[in-house]
Chains A and B, each alone.
Chain A
Amino acid sequence: MSTQSFRHTSGGRIDRTQTLRFTFDGKAYTGVAGDTLASALLANGVKLVGRSFKYHRPRGIVSAGVEEPTGLVTLRSGGRREPNVPATMAELYEGLEARSQNAWPSLAFDMLAVNGLVKPLLAAGFYYKTFMGPFQKSWMWYEPVIRRAAGLGVAASERDPDRYEKINAFADVLVVGGGPAGLAAALAAGRTGARVTLAEQMPSLGGALLNEPAGGAPDNWISSVVAELRALPNVIILTRTTVFGAYDGGTFGLVERVADHKIEPDAGEPRQRYIVLRAGQAVIAAGAIERPIPFGNNDRPGVMLASAARAYLNRFAVLPGRKIVLFTNNDGAYATAFDLKAAGAAVTVIDARVDGGAIASQAAQQAIEVIVGHAVVETHGSPLVQGVALSPYDIATGQCDNGFRRLACDLVAVSGGYDPQVHLATQRGPKAVWDAKRACFVPGVAPDIQSQAGACKGSFATADCIREGFAAGAAAAQKAGATGKPGELRVPDALTANDGSATFVPAWDVIPPKGLREKKRFIDLQNDVSVSDVKLAHLEGYVSVEHLKRYTTLGMATEQGKLSNVIALAQMAKLRGIDIPQVGTTGFRSPYTSVSLAAIAGHETDMHLRPVRRTPFHRWNEQQACVFIDAGLWKRPWFYPRSGEDVNLAYRRETRQVRETVGMVDVSTLGKIDVQGPDAAEFLNRVYVNGWKSLEVGKARYGLMLRDDGYVLDDGTTSRLSEHHYFLTTTTAEAAKVMSHLEWLLQTAWPDLRVHVTSVTDQWGGVALAGPNAKKLLADAIKDIDFSNETFPYMGVRQGHMGDIPVRVHRLSFSGELAYEVFCPAGFAEAMAEFLRDFGKRHSLILYGVEALGALRIEKGHIAGGEIDGRHTLEDLRMEKMASKAKPYVGSVLRIRPEMTSDDRPRLVGLKPVDKAARIKPGMILQPHNGPYKGHGLGHVSSTTYSPALGHSIALGFVIGGASMEGRIIDAVYPLKGDIVMVEVVPPHMFDPEGDRLHG
């Protein structure tokens, strides 16, 4: 086991008493509590952690935060395997298991590093210019090879065993970021009494102040503010929580990493929690990220952001190098030099500016060599940095001149200034604007409820951050309606001294001097996009920011260009001879940092993807060994198998027996709508094509509805229960749409009609009883209704009781048999089913499902979902005679347009196979007999079944010519399987066309 030879014996914000064991690529190491994987690796002197995307170059850890482009690993194994985790964001836990990515056979010796030898071949966009030959589809040959080489980590190969949860939360003020600005904002808002949520992505509060040496004034300030916040009951502090997106109406998306810092979640604990937070106001205090400077071979392990080097020392007590070169263009990075020097490292500062000013003098006093007006031109060493070349440098042009000299080192710390994190602040627009004075993008005017404070709006000095944050927090609370006073927040003098180096001279590039061969200067370290790629994009005309990104893949990596976008923009601006804002900036889009899919999915996955709708008979049906079928969200009874039966045997038996004795089917999924009011008849008269004014109380009628464009919307029966009370039914599939349609008409078109519609689908259970014995059965079961044909004729409706159960009985028939639909309040459904089954025994009652229901209705030529598919007219369905000519109704004007009533349209027919043993299959296309089979033919088959009554397969379909084709032979074809069935066109009504059976 390696020792932590780069760990200091004092300092840092770690707990040395807790040693944590972990492995990287199978090798065992130790770290301590408070480490990240990155700090623990560095403590052990492990600098090579990954391979780059394209050239497979060795890469190390560049940052200490979310911007990490190269230090990506795969964590855990099995169903918990997670690819592409920044080691900088992975908190160490006992037993952590990490692997490097994109390297084969090993990280140290990666075969595809050969790509690096042919770098010029693999320049930006090379793949657009080749891989086209020799054949037309040659890409299909190259693609698998390229796909295997691309990609980073490997996704899990099993189901994730962890839980995820989603919650809805509310706040008056959301504060994003727990640095000095965010803490101050939360405090100001919290003191007013507003409900405050403070979200910080790191495990600890303090932000950039945590980079300062532990135990000093910053720590005192943080702990006093945090203590006050924690004492406020109206403030919720969420750490390890990223606000990844800003959405409309004050909605924000957050992910809290509840258990990622543990080997696995505790019992009952989710791994991550997705929080949809609705905020009255939001203060964005997201901070800034240090900007690198591109120089030759700046990707070698051992090149790191200056702030990261300082973070590793002061947060984790890890010395990231012993002989350090700090390359800077600003004062702020000198703090890194001072702290590293104090920790015992040898430090040389290369200051790109002509004059380092007071800070450089201060460094000299501390025995730190400062070389001004110079730049690091390149690094050398393999695979780790062993030294740099430096050269006199003109910061304005980026050009080095007058030779170079080499300097040995094991760490290059770089600071090119700071980029405000404008991402979240600008997601909803307006775009970020270029601040020429500060040489960075800052957010534009904040939209509606948002405001910004601190480094994310370009205020880098700590005291400014605190003041701005406090003011923004107070203002947000006030806007959110809080009335309390925020009071004062004094900025300690010790923090005022830290000005965060407000100004810097941008250094966009380091062009090597004559005599030094040009090396790759990487801008996007993960995707291997370098300065030369930007030049190539420019040369080829891909000069807008969007073209640049898309052509070179710059900024498309897992960190979405947090370190690279601004540098690339600046370089393109220079190449084009225009200002940076003229090149533009892409809009920032959610998420700010990557978010696991499982978190957003929360618990609404797998069985919980959508609710399940069960009829009130469901449990009873289960007891009858029913097999169910999905119909939208519903579980409907499909068939009731007897021993050894499959669906085909079962539905044929069920169908046959309905026509012989009596069957019962659960029809509770029908849409049921109560229509009440003095104008109900008028309302129905307007929504249905047929007339409703004459329907008497106690009677039902079949109706068809059209859409406004004249196409058929739905059908069903509606019964008049009393003078002003109707009971309307819809098909299962269209129930929700019809309900909305009726509400729409009543509330927008005819608000004067005195009618209420109420969905009662879930309130009523219903069964249909069909077959010759149906009447006898019901007459046995229901004593207070007279079932004689004279008093209760076809299309009659009666209300009565089955035992104590109140029931409505509608004499309707979908099957063509003597049949009734019986509805009861849903709570009585099981009791009613039991009742009917008991009474049914002596009448040979069977249960049937929707497969048999379909068979019965197809035999009768009744239309259903296959025919009402949103594309048919009344004429297509041969039901135009139903339409009243005496009144207007929804769709009455547009339905009679000539091309909608034309005889050229396919119309409903029945179909019978010429060879009675042949089967007409659903989805068959109707073609002229003996072909040629092509195009869209004569029409299609819409519903099929085997008809036990007729003893052969039958179908409904649509054929051009409709009734005029009856008696003709055509072919039903199924080219997918090569089937052809010769069929005779017949009237749709194929069984009992006179309807005798209906009357018993």
Chain B
Amino acid sequence: MRINCPHCGPRDSAEYTYYGDASRVRPSLTDTGVEHWHAYVHERNNVKGPMQEFWHHLHGCRQWLVVTRNTATHEIGAVRFAKSPVSDTAGA
């Protein structure tokens, strides 16, 4: 698998680490709801098909990326920096 890092270009998946579902929303720091935090920490999307995922370019630019990847085919779609929600998108 190769992921097209918006900063480094296409790099082998071995350079990256994985952190799963990127669609879940982290409760705000001041949110004291146990249920919110429990759901955020433990209940992640685990779909078959296209999925938004966090990947960390650990052995590269060390940016956290949001990668759209198909879990049934491993096909990689759009890639963007996690810190900038819309811009800096690299093609597949």
A748 touching B83 in the complex, CB below 8 Å, given contacts A249-B76, A250-B2: yes
Of B2, B30, B62, which is within 8 A of A249 by CB?
B2
Cβ contacts under 8 Å, A746 to chain B? 83
A709 touching B41 in the complex, CB below 8 Å, given contacts A744-B56, A744-B64, A893-B34: yes
Q: Which of A851-894 contact B (CB under 8 A)?
A: 888-889, 893-894
1/0 contact string of B1-44 vs chain A (CB within 8 Å): 11000000010110001010000001101111110011011100
A278 touching B38 in the complex, CB below 8 Å, given contacts A248-B74, A888-B30: no
Of A248, A743, A751, A893, which is within 8 A of B56 by CB?
A743
Nearest residue in B to A740 (C-beta to C-beta)?
Answer: B56
Cβ contacts under 8 Å, A751 to chain B? 83-84
Cβ contacts under 8 Å, A747 to chain B? 63-64, 81-83
A893/B37 in contact, CB under 8 A: yes
Of A709, A740, A748, A894, which is within 8 A of B17 by CB?
A740
Within the complex, what minimum Cβ distance (angstroms) separates B79 from chain A? 12
User: Is B75 engaged at the interface, CB distance under 8 Å to the other chain?
Assistant: yes
- Complex Cα distance A138/B1, Å? 47
Within the complex, what minimum Cβ distance (angstroms) separates A887 from chain B? 9
A708/B37 in contact, CB under 8 A: yes
Nearest residue in B to A748 (C-beta to C-beta)?
Answer: B82
Within the complex, what minimum Cβ distance (angstroms) separates B10 from chain A? 8
A248/B1 in contact, CB under 8 A: yes
Within the complex, what minimum Cβ distance (angstroms) separates A91 from chain B? 33
Number of interface residues of A (CB under 8 A): 26
B74/A893 in contact, CB under 8 A: no
B41/A748 in contact, CB under 8 A: no
B2/A748 in contact, CB under 8 A: no
- Complex Cα distance A686/B30, Å? 11
- Complex Cα distance A744/B64, Å? 7
User: Is A251 engaged at the interface, CB distance under 8 Å to the other chain?
Assistant: yes
User: Is B47 engaged at the interface, CB distance under 8 Å to the other chain?
Assistant: no
Cβ contacts under 8 Å, A708 to chain B? 37, 40-41
1/0 contact string of A393-436 vs chain B (CB within 8 Å): 00000000000000000000000000000000000010000000
Cβ contacts under 8 Å, B73 to chain A? 429, 447
- Complex Cα distance A746/B32, Å? 20
- Complex Cα distance A750/B83, Å? 8
- Complex Cα distance A751/B73, Å? 32
Name the residue among A247, A248, A278, A447 with the largest chain B CB count within 10 angstroms: A248
Nearest residue in A to B74 (C-beta to C-beta)?
Answer: A248
Cβ contacts under 8 Å, A744 to chain B? 19, 54, 56, 64
Q: Which of A682-741 contact B (CB under 8 A)?
A: 686, 708-709, 740
Cβ contacts under 8 Å, B29 to chain A? 686, 749-750, 888-889
B1/A740 in contact, CB under 8 A: no
Cβ contacts under 8 Å, A249 to chain B? 1-2, 10, 12-13, 74, 76
Cβ contacts under 8 Å, B2 to chain A? 248-251, 278
A748/B54 in contact, CB under 8 A: yes
Nearest residue in A to B84 (C-beta to C-beta)?
Answer: A751
- Complex Cα distance A156/B73, Å? 39
Q: Which of B49-87 contact A (CB under 8 A)?
A: 54, 56, 58, 62-64, 73-76, 81-84
Of B12, B38, B64, which is within 8 A of A748 by CB?
B64
Of A250, A251, A686, A894, which is within 8 A of B37 by CB?
A894
Cβ contacts under 8 Å, B31 to chain A? 893
- Complex Cα distance A68/B82, Å? 52
User: Is A897 engaged at the interface, CB distance under 8 Å to the other chain?
Assistant: yes
Within the complex, what minimum Cβ distance (angstroms) separates B77 from chain A? 12
- Complex Cα distance A897/B84, Å? 34
Nearest residue in B to A707 (C-beta to C-beta)?
Answer: B41
User: Is A448 engaged at the interface, CB distance under 8 Å to the other chain?
Assistant: yes
- Complex Cα distance A894/B41, Å? 10
Nearest residue in A to B17 (C-beta to C-beta)?
Answer: A740
For chain B, which range describes its interface: under 10, 10 to 19, 20 to 34, or 35 or more residues?
20 to 34
Within the complex, what minimum Cβ distance (angstroms) separates B92 from chain A? 10
Q: Which of A267-286 contact B (CB under 8 A)?
A: 278
Cβ contacts under 8 Å, A888 to chain B? 29-30, 32
A897 touching B64 in the complex, CB below 8 Å, given contacts A743-B56, A744-B19: no
- Complex Cα distance A897/B41, Å? 14
Nearest residue in B to A752 (C-beta to C-beta)?
Answer: B83
- Complex Cα distance A889/B26, Å? 13
Cβ contacts under 8 Å, B1 to chain A? 247-249, 251
- Complex Cα distance A708/B30, Å? 13
- Complex Cα distance A99/B73, Å? 44
- Complex Cα distance A888/B13, Å? 35
Q: Which of A5-49 contact B (CB under 8 A)?
A: none
Q: Which of A884-923 contact B (CB under 8 A)?
A: 888-889, 893-894, 897
Within the complex, what minimum Cβ distance (angstroms) separates A251 from chain B? 7
Within the complex, what minimum Cβ distance (angstroms) separates B50 from chain A? 15
- Complex Cα distance A383/B32, Å? 82
Within the complex, what minimum Cβ distance (angstroms) separates A167 from chain B? 14
Of A247, A251, A893, which is within 8 A of B33 by CB?
A893
Cβ contacts under 8 Å, A448 to chain B? 75
Cβ contacts under 8 Å, A247 to chain B? 1
B26/A740 in contact, CB under 8 A: no
Cβ contacts under 8 Å, B26 to chain A? 748-749
Cβ contacts under 8 Å, A894 to chain B? 34, 37-38, 41
Cβ contacts under 8 Å, B27 to chain A? 893
Nearest residue in B to A894 (C-beta to C-beta)?
Answer: B37
- Complex Cα distance A247/B58, Å? 22
Name the residue among A247, A249, A740, A744 with the largest chain B CB count within 10 angstroms: A249
B75/A893 in contact, CB under 8 A: no
1/0 contact string of A603-614 vs chain B (CB within 8 Å): 000000000000
Nearest residue in B to A889 (C-beta to C-beta)?
Answer: B29
Cβ contacts under 8 Å, B10 to chain A? 249
- Complex Cα distance A751/B83, Å? 6
- Complex Cα distance A563/B18, Å? 41
A893 touching B58 in the complex, CB below 8 Å, given contacts A251-B2, A708-B37, A751-B83: no
- Complex Cα distance A746/B17, Å? 17
Cβ contacts under 8 Å, B74 to chain A? 248-249
Name the residue among B10, B34, B64 with the largest chain A CB count within 10 angstroms: B64
Within the complex, what minimum Cβ distance (angstroms) separates A690 from chain B? 16
A743 touching B62 in the complex, CB below 8 Å, given contacts A251-B1, A709-B41, A748-B83: yes
1/0 contact string of A782-815 vs chain B (CB within 8 Å): 0000000000000000000000000000000000
- Complex Cα distance A749/B64, Å? 11
- Complex Cα distance A249/B79, Å? 14
A740 touching B58 in the complex, CB below 8 Å, given contacts A248-B1, A894-B38: yes
Cβ contacts under 8 Å, B42 to chain A? 709
A897 touching B34 in the complex, CB below 8 Å, given contacts A748-B83, A749-B26: yes
- Complex Cα distance A749/B12, Å? 26
- Complex Cα distance A447/B75, Å? 10
Nearest residue in A to B56 (C-beta to C-beta)?
Answer: A740
Query: Would you list the 7 A-B pairs with minimal beta carbon distance, nearest first?
Result: A249-B2, A751-B83, A248-B1, A248-B74, A747-B64, A747-B83, A249-B1
Which residues of B come within 8 Å of A, CB atoms? Answer: 1-2, 10, 12-13, 17, 19, 26-27, 29-34, 37-38, 40-42, 54, 56, 58, 62-64, 73-76, 81-84
Give me 27 A-to-B residue pairs in the complex whose CB atoms sit less than 8 angstroms apart, sorted by A's number: A247-B1, A248-B2, A248-B75, A249-B2, A249-B10, A249-B74, A251-B12, A278-B2, A278-B12, A447-B73, A708-B37, A709-B42, A740-B17, A740-B58, A744-B19, A744-B54, A744-B56, A744-B64, A746-B83, A747-B63, A747-B81, A750-B29, A751-B84, A888-B30, A893-B31, A893-B32, A897-B34
Q: Given A248-B1, A278-B12, 19 other A-B contacts at CB below 8 A?
A: A248-B2, A248-B13, A248-B75, A251-B12, A708-B40, A708-B41, A740-B17, A740-B56, A743-B56, A743-B62, A744-B54, A744-B56, A747-B83, A748-B83, A750-B29, A751-B83, A888-B29, A893-B32, A894-B38
Which residues of A come within 8 Å of B, CB atoms? Answer: 247-251, 278, 429, 447-448, 686, 708-709, 740, 743-744, 746-751, 888-889, 893-894, 897
